[in-house]
């Protein structure tokens, strides 16, 4: 099968959707399928040499506690048309198709089977609330809908109608289950260690809540260490520490995939104190695969992954006292940590990409009629703002600027 995957977020910026598309593409290729990816990136040269096509740059816009990516206009549409015509795909799989980016452009332009995966978890989307009725006719061209969690499914049902089958994110389980720990950080040997991974300058990730909880943790476990991995401003974290925590916190910065796996294999407890905006929580599956017991906030998506507390400890989000109590108790109970580690490995096995990819392929096979022709680009019949322009012109700029102003209102 010839499959086209569309990622609306910049490929050279770490993120859950980017990893999802990358790993799905690799898994499908390993199963014998031909897969091409269309994605924006800040730098075209940062893309792989084969099977990934540059869609241009996006406009980053603060939204939902994170950064939304806008890429919309005639130049972007021209790139989409060329990719569709050259790809001759049996099916095109678009990720997060509703926002104004290349995913929506594909839905507007492509003729043939389209599958979409909805990742977004915002409870109230300004874009979908205002423009849902406008974009719905194009999104109705989607033949098969997937949501990575029940929360993501509810968001798209509320704003766009229709329904979606739930297929979660996948993980290469073996890559996290086996391998070395970080030097000097062996689990159960080098002192009680708690891990946190995320963009630590994003309030929704909950790092300040965890730091406040650590003040109680170190009183009960004087040797406890918190390892913080991810992107952000180190100075902002150091301002939150104070003298009582400074010796107990280490910033690791951005980790490679190999180092992330080693990090998760090193910690005695992985903590996810997130406050909102999580549709799934792939990091929890990675931590479970690495054998790390988990303490996480009680977001719907996290509760689903942790089987409502059977595979990890859930605490009330935003409550540092309850978080501290859970961390102290788990660090004091090696038998419970061992039980959660064993149960977590069983849960993680169900999310291995070998299984997830087969479920996605089943959706493709459902929407691709036997003997159907390839997906291609329709002759232009859309809005004047997206009228084709010759390659190399900069016709996107005014429309993208207007979208930036609108979303920031």
Read off the pLDDT band of 136 (50, 70, 90). confident
Q: Which residue is listed with tokens 């997206």?
A: 386
Task: Count CA within 13 A, CB hemisphere, residue 251.
Answer: 20
> What are the angstrom distances between the C-alpha of 134 and each of 1, 75, 137, 166, 381?
32, 21, 7, 25, 15
Least confident of 112-126, 252-266, 282-296: 112-126
Query: How would residue 324 be classed by pLDDT, with cut points 50, 70 and 90?
Result: very high
Inform me whether the pLDDT recorded for 114 exceeds 70. yes
Decide which of 61 and 149 is more confident: 149
Distance CA 284, CA 336 (A): 18
Instruction: Compute the residue count for the chain.
Output: 409
Counting runs of H as helices and runs of E as strands, what totals does the chain give?
15, 17
Determine the pLDDT at residue 74.
Answer: 79
Q: Where are the beta strands (DSSP E) in 14-55?
A: 34-39, 52-54
Other CB atoms within a 10 A radius of the CB of residue 188 amount to 11
Are the CB atoms for 364 and 115 separated by under 8 Å?
A: yes
- Domains recognised in the chain with CATH numbers: 2-170+353-398 (3.40.50.2000), 173-349 (3.40.50.2000)
pLDDT tens by residue, 246-267 = 999 999 999 999 999 999 999 9
Cα–Cα distance between 25 and 288 in angstroms, integer? 23
**Greater model confidence, 168 or 121:** 168
Residue with the two structure tokens 């100075």: 235
DSSP E strands, 144-239:
144-147, 165-166, 193-197, 225-229
- For residue range 152-201, what is the model confidence (pLDDT) as tens digits? 888 777 767 778 999 999 999 999 999 999 998 989 888 899 999 998 88
Question: Are 69 and 92 in contact, with CB atoms under 8 Å apart?
Answer: no
pLDDT beyond 60 at 393:
no
Specify the pLDDT at position 408: 45
- pTM listed for this prediction: 0.81
Residue 63 has pLDDT above 60, yes or no: no
CA distance linking residue 116 with residue 4, whole number of Å? 11
């Amino acid at each position: 099968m010839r499959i086209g995957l569309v990622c609306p977020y910049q490929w050279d910026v770490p993120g859950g959707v980017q990893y999802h598309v990358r790993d799905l593409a690799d898994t499908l290729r390993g199963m014998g399928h031909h897969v091409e990816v269309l994605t924006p990136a800040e730098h075209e040269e940062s893309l792989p040499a084969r099977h990934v096509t540059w869609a241009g740059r996006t406009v980053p816009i603060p939204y939902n506690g994170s950064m939304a990516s806008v890429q919309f206009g005639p130049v972007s549409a021209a790139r989409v048309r060329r990719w569709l015509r050259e790809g001759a795909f049996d099916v095109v799989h678009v990720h997060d198709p509703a926002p104004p980016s290349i995913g929506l452009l594909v839905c507007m332009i492509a003729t043939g089977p389209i599958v979409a995966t909805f990742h977004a978890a915002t409870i109230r989307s300004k874009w979908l609330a205002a423009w849902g009725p406008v974009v719905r006719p194009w999104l109705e061209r989607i033949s098969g809908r997937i949501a990575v969690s029940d929360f993501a499914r509810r968001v798209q049902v509320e704003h766009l109608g229709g329904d979606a089958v739930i297929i979660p994110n996948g993980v290469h389980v073996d890559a996290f289950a086996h391998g070395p720990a970080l030097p000097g950080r062996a689990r159960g040997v080098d002192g009680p260690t708690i891990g946190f991974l995320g963009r630590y300058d994003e309030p929704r990730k909950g790092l300040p809540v965890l730091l406040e909880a650590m003040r109680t943790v170190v009183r009960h476990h004087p040797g406890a260490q918190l390892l913080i991995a991810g992107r952000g401003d180190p100075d902002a974290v150091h301002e939150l520490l104070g003298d009582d925590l400074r010796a107990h916190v280490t910033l690791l910065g951005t980790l490679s995939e190999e180092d992330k796996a080693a990090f998760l294999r090193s910690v005695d407890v992985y903590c996810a104190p997130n406050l909102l905006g999580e549709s799934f929580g792939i990091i929890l599956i990675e931590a479970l695969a690495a054998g790390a017991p988990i303490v996480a906030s009680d977001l719907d998506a996290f509760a689903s992954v942790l089987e409502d507390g059977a595979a990890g400890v859930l605490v009330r989000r935003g409550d540092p006292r309850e978080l501290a109590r859970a961390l102290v108790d788990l660090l004091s109970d090696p038998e419970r940590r061992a039980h959660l580690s064993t149960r977590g490995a069983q849960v993680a096995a169900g999310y291995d990409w070998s299984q997830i990819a087969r479920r996605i392929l089943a959706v493709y096979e459902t929407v691709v009629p036997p003997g159907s022709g390839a997906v291609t680009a329709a002759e232009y019949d859309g809005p004047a703002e997206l009228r084709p322009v010759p390659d190399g012109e900069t016709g996107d700029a005014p429309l993208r600027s207007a979208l930036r102003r609108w979303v920031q209102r």
